[in-house]
Structure 1
Amino acid sequence: MAITASMVKELRESTGAGMMDAKKALTETDGDMEAAVDWLRTKGLAKAAKKSGRTAAEGLVGVAVSGGKGVVVEVNSETDFVAKNAEFQALVRNVAQAALGADDIESLKQADLNGQPAETAVMDAIAKIGENMTLRRMSTLSGETVVSYVHNAAGEGLGKIGVLVALSGTDNGIGRQIAMHVAAANPAALDEAALDPALVVKERQVQFDIAKESGKPDAVIEKMLEGRMKKFMAESTLMGQAFVVNPDVTVAQAAKDAGVAVTGFVRLAVGEGIEKQTEDFAAEVAKMNAGA
């Protein structure tokens, strides 16, 4: 029986198995959907589906740099305990290396990882380790020199926050210091020109409303607004922030003094933007009794 793409898709959605595993299961069972599900269960691959709905907000970021290109990836797990697992750490490290040859998260999912797509490797890890995992994000950065840094390191190139900084000029160690600054200060953009215009408009309106509450004349309010927006720009941009290594100078000045120019940065932190599901014990017991 011919195995169609729609059959593979249906089996993947019902079991959570990887594309190649689903196709193999259908091939082995001559297209029998129920038998294919059983085949996946016997191989320990279908059980990943039961875990796929659980929130994965822990995990690790991995960084890798080759030449003038750097990548940072985020692979999530359900618990921090799994993030300390040697097999999980090896998976994240391998995914980061594979990401050097990918353009975006979708191409990374299909990138070769020890003879199989990275997405399949993650599904295999779910079945083996027993927690939901997600290959969630990746970012790339290119430049004359790219420096990486991980905060709360769990191993070489692995941590809770991953940073890439691109420089032009000869790096004498300032690159790592700036990367550490990015991890700590979390700037919204490289400079004022790179700030999201919508963010600037929103902040200006907020500051105007605050100043208006003072009841002062419009001319005074305008001066207050100008000062507050200048402060906002400085605090929100990497170039305008006070350098954590030496707060007496801005990052822009520190880079200039070191003879380099910062051309870009990337920062990914584990679990950013993921709403963690919480349920108290009483609610959990009530749910169990309701289903009894």
Structure 2
Amino acid sequence: MAAFSASMIKDLRDRTGLGMMECKRALAESEGNIDKAIDDLRKSSGMKAAKKAGRIAADGVVALRLSQDNTYGVMIEINTETDFAARDEGFVKFVEVCLDKAFNEKSFHFDEFIASMEDSRQGLVQKIGENISIRRIETMEAPVIGTYIHSNNRIGVLVGLTGINTTVSKDVAMHIAAVNPQVVKPEDMPDSLVEKEKEIFIAQAKESGKSEEIVEKMSTGRINKFLSESSLINQPFVKNPEITVNKLLEDAGAEVLSFCRFEVGEGIEKIEVDFAAEVAAQISAAK
């Protein structure tokens, strides 16, 4: 077996980002040939990355960027398995590279974007040992765009408006982050969702034993309340609950055209592991 030095191990670690023992083993198997060791590691680590792809990545960050004239914005969510990995320097750089690419390209197909970043993503998976997923990207153009990114980088908002100053646009974005409205106006709510809520309300009202007429009135009232509470313009403004968001916009001579809100991991079903039960099961199986 060819000899290799500690400096060669360090060089291989720097070039691959992999662990010391893995690099040492690769150098031993390649008989001290560092280029062959890199090729071998890429092959084996690629297999590891593929295996990790099946693991649930429900942590991570939301990042956004706004043009200097406040008319174009991009927001991206990239997931990891743990909050610890989301703070990794390599992961932070990967997020910046993805954000730069999406911002500069402006018009792109999501699948093609994902494919273009796959080598970098797999390299990062190999380095930090967790699954990484570029989950979603949103681009927005409007006369004025307001943005908000929460201090923990887990909630981000883009909101497009017309006829408004940037201070108010930022306030509206912050409100969306805090209150999480579903639509801009009540009439924007999808009919399918309204019907679903109505069915639930009617079923609940019928249990009270009231007449069909009363049940219909009750369900109509509750639907109207649901639409009002779920619509941005009808919500009490988070910084001054004495006025609605609509009043804030009217006073500023503005209108919300659209908004997008990302929250890390929303809608991803996480697997809760009971480690105590898992250990007990393994001990029991070993008996």
TM-score by length of 2: 0.77
Q: Which runs of 5+ in 1 are unaligned?
A: 1-34, 111-116, 154-158
- SS of 1:274's equivalent in the other structure is coil
- AA aligned opposite 2:108: D
Query: Rg bigger for which structure?
Result: 2
CA distance in 2, matches of 1:219, 1:47: 63
Partner of 1:83: 86
Partner of 1:267: 261
Aligned structure 1 segments of 4 or more residues deviating by more than 6 angstroms: none
Q: Tell me which protein shows more helix as a share of its residues.
A: 2
2:142 is the alignment partner of 1:122 = no
In the alignment of these two chains, the number of paired residues is 246
Q: Is the alpha carbon distance of 1:278 and 1:147 closer, same or farther for their aligned partners in structure 2, counting shifts above 3 Å?
A: same
Q: Which runs of 5+ in 2 are unaligned?
A: 1-35
Q: Cα offset for 1:288?
A: 8.4
2:278 to 255, 266, 284: 284
CA distance in 1, matches of 2:272, 2:205: 39
2:104 is the alignment partner of 1:103 = no
CA distance in 2, matches of 1:278, 1:109: 28
CA distance in 2, matches of 1:224, 1:84: 50
Q: Is the alpha carbon distance of 1:198 and 1:281 closer, same or farther for their aligned partners in structure 2, counting shifts above 3 Å?
A: same
- Residues 205-263 of structure 1 deviation map (CA, whole Å, 9 limit, x = unaligned): 22222223333344433332332121111111111212111112221221111221111
Between the aligned residues of both structures, percent identity stands at 41
Matched-pair contact (CA < 8 Å) for 1:161–1:269:
yes
Matched-pair contact (CA < 8 Å) for 2:144–2:166:
no
TM-score by length of 1: 0.76
Partner of 1:113: none
State which drifts further: 256-265 or 215-224: 215-224
- SS of 1:230's equivalent in the other structure is helix
- SS of 2:187's equivalent in the other structure is helix
Q: Is the alpha carbon distance of 1:232 and 1:118 closer, same or farther for their aligned partners in structure 2, counting shifts above 3 Å?
A: same
RMSD: 2.6
- AA aligned opposite 1:99: A
1:227 to 221, 224, 227: 221
CA distance in 2, matches of 1:147, 1:216: 47
Partner of 2:163: 169
- AA aligned opposite 1:128: K
Matched-pair contact (CA < 8 Å) for 2:146–2:166:
no
Matched-pair contact (CA < 8 Å) for 1:40–1:46:
no
Summarize the alignment of residues 63-212 of structure 1 with structure 2, pairs less than 5 Å apart: 63-66=64-67, 67=69, 68-100=71-103, 101=105, 102-110=107-115, 117-153=116-152, 159-212=153-206
- SS of 2:77's equivalent in the other structure is strand
Matched-pair contact (CA < 8 Å) for 2:80–2:132:
yes
